[in-house]
Amino acid sequence: MGLSVAYHLAEQGTRNVIVVDKSYLCGGASGRNGGGIRAQWSSETNVVLMQESIRMCRVFARRMKINVWFRQGGYLFLARTLPMQRTLEASVALQRECGVRTEMLTPAQAAKIVPELDTNQLVAASYNPDDGVVFPWPFVWGFANAAEKYGVKVLPFHEVIGIRTRGTAIESVVLRNDVREFSIATSRVVNAAGAWSPTVAKLVGIELPNKPHRHEICSSEPLKPWLKPLVADLSDGLYFSQSTRGEIVGGIGQSYVPHGLNQESSFAFLGKYARSLARTCPALGAVKVLRQWAGCYDLTPDANPIFGPVKEIDEFYQVSGFMGHGFMMAPIVGKRLADHLAHGNQEPLFERWRLSRFAEGKLLSEGMILG
């Protein structure tokens, strides 16, 4: 999110843009996710945003001069119960109204797309051929390299330890690296630190309601290419796809994980993922796992982001709480915020995703969350 905002600001002529990262550029969720890009959502806002984000992903490699292995094999969502089928049907109806090519499928039709599926316990599925997957690392590097060509300074391994204010105005940001502490004079800060955003917000006395939640992923030995779409099961949060190198890359939701900013791996995840994967696609029951890793989802109480300014501090913008889909929304959300910062464009998402909605009790909803 931060690199996307910076790139789009600089592309439009804004200078003196600095991106600060506590670790290396792919050290947080941006480098630890499954790379999924989809327009299958249950809210019109997310569907419309992702239509534009997918269009941006199609031209990303050419514009940024880097191969991100973007492949549009589609997303195949599976339903195992009638209530879940009705959820998919409602979502598909909305998506089609927005011009998305999603279709409801019978289990037999789903098996034509992925013949290896065990369809005995399925009641329905949905499929959009325009959804896809990118390789996260070059996607991040692409934004960073392109931003730097426009003059953006990208500072990895720099921790934000303070934000100095005078009244409601920001005066400077205090940084620390391995060598020294120093400050950068600025009146405007974008807090796009994902699961670390509440920590940054506290530096100016702002309490954010989002919480980190560990999500794990694993990668198998490479197999002969056979799986075209990303397969997702809303009943337990399972998802898996096949990379261009042949690995099966996937994850699954877990309710009981350590609290806080925890990016360690667990045996519990591997067992749950293996059982669900083998149930869904028995042919993968004997596949060898080569490695597993974890990252942090950025969870809000209503599964919707926090986006825009806050009342308490001038020019302190929030871009957090995107659950497990901040990566796929980064292109369009970064552009929307950059358009506002550079030109003062009105941004309707500031009202919809405002921080104050939680105190006001005006929560939103989104049902198509994985993990």
Average pLDDT over every residue of 245-250:
96
The reply to whether 253 and 343 lie within a common domain is no
Strands 289-299 and 169-176, by their bridges, are unpaired
> Per residue in 217-244, pLDDT tens?
999 999 999 999 999 998 899 999 999 9
297 close to 29: Cβ distance less than 8 angstroms:
yes
Domain that holds residue 237: 71-133+212-299
Is the pLDDT score of 134 beyond 90? yes
Is the pLDDT score of 357 beyond 80? yes
- Give the CATH number for residue 266: 3.30.9.10
The reply to whether 201 and 332 lie within a common domain is yes
Q: Cα dihedral sign for 348, 350, 353, 354?
A: negative
- Give the CATH number for residue 8: 3.50.50.60
Q: Place 353 in a pLDDT band, splitting at 50, 70 and 90.
A: very high
> Per residue in 27-47, pLDDT tens?
999 999 999 999 999 999 999
The reply to whether 114 and 221 lie within a common domain is yes
Give the residues across from 317 on adjacent strands: 190, 309
Is the pLDDT score of 216 beyond 90? yes
Average pLDDT over every residue of 91-96:
98
The reply to whether 265 and 289 lie within a common domain is yes
pLDDT of residue 311: 96
Last residue of a domain, one of 273, 299, 325: 299
The reply to whether 219 and 165 lie within a common domain is no
DSSP string spanning 58-72?
Answer: HTHHHHHTS----B-
Residue 48 within any structural domain of the chain: no
The reply to whether 158 and 193 lie within a common domain is yes
Residue 37 within any structural domain of the chain: no
What percentage of the chain has pLDDT greater than the value 70? 100
Is the pLDDT score of 324 beyond 90? no
pLDDT of residue 364: 92
Q: Cα dihedral sign for 321, 369, 96, 329?
A: positive
In the chain, the number of structural domains is: 2
Average pLDDT over every residue of 286-299:
95
